């Protein structure tokens, strides 16, 4: 590729990155503004006074219009649900993907095709029957509808892990079996450590999806003490106007901060896991 074309590509990428960063910068500047400067016209990017106190106010005190907002309760609920989903997703998807990739059993390919077919069914189609099933179980209003399904596998995660497992040489597994290792020992001690990049990708996808999930908590949770962060942010919006946008932006920034931090430290493993899972 010619240098001029490379320069044009770099310029286009820089412009696109600026376009994507602008909403985040607006959220950051609004989070430290006085309430009177949040809706000024024309908009002010740089606040006249930086109020770092907006962050503790958003976490501990709320506002005069809102009263107390239990941000820490929302954070605790979100952490509990996210950890259960991540552990369940990693445990279930790795076992099922290993069975599809490394074991031979009747109907394996047919079951794998049926698993992939479930990816074509959108969630709104299943929303009503799933709600009815959980209602019969008596789980509505609890955390169970949000984390129990993660322990039964995901078609996309199974597919990604299966593709990665197929790239691991079978000679390693055969050598372990000759030495007397059981199939579970081969899976746990040989295959799973080598598949750490792909497992990290699944854990990150599950973490981000669960942490940001809004529709699930909206459907299944009924008590404010069980709300998650994504659903609890609605508590900062009053029904009669007067929403404190600076506190809402401060709370939103705190909500997305863990995702940014986790992805920053795991981005190399994330990219390696995607690149070596058979995707072109």
Rounded CA gap, 171 and 153, in Å?
Answer: 28
Residues in a beta bridge with 67: 63
Please list, residue by residue across 189-219, b when 16 or more beta carbons sit within 10 angstroms of its beta carbon and e when fewer do.
ebbbeebebbbbbbbbbbbbbbbebeebbeb
Reference 236, options 74, 88, 100; nearest CA is 74
Residue 23 is predicted with a pLDDT of 87
Rounded CA gap, 67 and 173, in Å?
Answer: 60
Residue given tokens 């909206």 in the structure block:
218
Residue 2 is predicted with a pLDDT of 73
What percent of the chain clears pLDDT 90, i.e. is strictly above it?
32
What is the mean predicted confidence (pLDDT) over 176-197?
A: 87
**Which band of pLDDT confidence, cut at 50, 70 and 90, is reported for residue 132?**
very high
Please state the pTM of the whole predicted model: 0.86
Of the segments 118-122, 132-136, 163-167, 270-274, which one has the largest average pLDDT value? 132-136
Residue 182 is predicted with a pLDDT of 86
Residue 36 is predicted with a pLDDT of 83
Is 204:263 a contact under the CB 8 Å cutoff?
yes
Domains assigned to the chain: 71-230+263-275 (1.10.3720.10)
Residue 61 is predicted with a pLDDT of 66
Is the per-residue pLDDT at 140 higher than 90? Answer: yes
Please list, residue by residue across 115-127, b when 16 or more beta carbons sit within 10 angstroms of its beta carbon and e when fewer do.
beeeeeeeeeeee
More confident residue, 114 or 36: 114
Is the per-residue pLDDT at 160 higher than 50? Answer: yes
């Amino acid at each position: 590729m010619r240098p001029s074309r490379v320069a044009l590509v770099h310029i286009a990428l820089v412009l696109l990155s600026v376009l994507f960063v602008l909403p985040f910068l607006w959220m950051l500047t609004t989070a430290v503004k006085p309430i009177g400067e949040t809706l000024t016209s024309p908009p002010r990017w740089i606040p006249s006074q930086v109020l770092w106190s907006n962050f503790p106010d958003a976490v501990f005190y709320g506002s005069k219009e809102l009263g107390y907002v239990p941000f820490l309760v929302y954070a605790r609920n979100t952490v509990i649900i996210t950890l259960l989903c991540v552990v369940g997703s990693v445990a279930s998807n790795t076992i099922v993907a290993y069975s599809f990739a490394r074991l031979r059993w009747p109907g394996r390919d047919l079951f794998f095709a049926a698993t992939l077919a479930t990816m074509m069914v959108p969630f709104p189609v299943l929303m009503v029957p799933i709600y009815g099933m959980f209602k019969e179980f008596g789980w509505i209003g609890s955390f169970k509808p949000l984390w129990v399904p993660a322990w039964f596998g995901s078609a996309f995660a199974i597919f990604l892990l299966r593709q990665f497992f197929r790239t691991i040489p079978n000679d390693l597994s055969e050598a372990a079996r000759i030495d007397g290792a059981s199939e579970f020992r081969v899976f746990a001690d040989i295959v799973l450590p080598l598949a750490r990049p792909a497992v990290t990708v699944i854990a990150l996808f599950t973490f981000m999806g669960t942490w940001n999930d809004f529709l699930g908590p909206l459907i299944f949770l009924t008590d404010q003490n069980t709300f998650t962060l994504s659903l609890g942010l609605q508590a900062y919006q009053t029904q009669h106007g007067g929403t404190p946008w600076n506190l809402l932006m401060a709370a939103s920034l705190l909500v997305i901060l863990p995702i940014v931090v986790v992805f920053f430290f795991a981005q190399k493993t994330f990219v390696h896991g995607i690149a070596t899972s058979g995707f072109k």
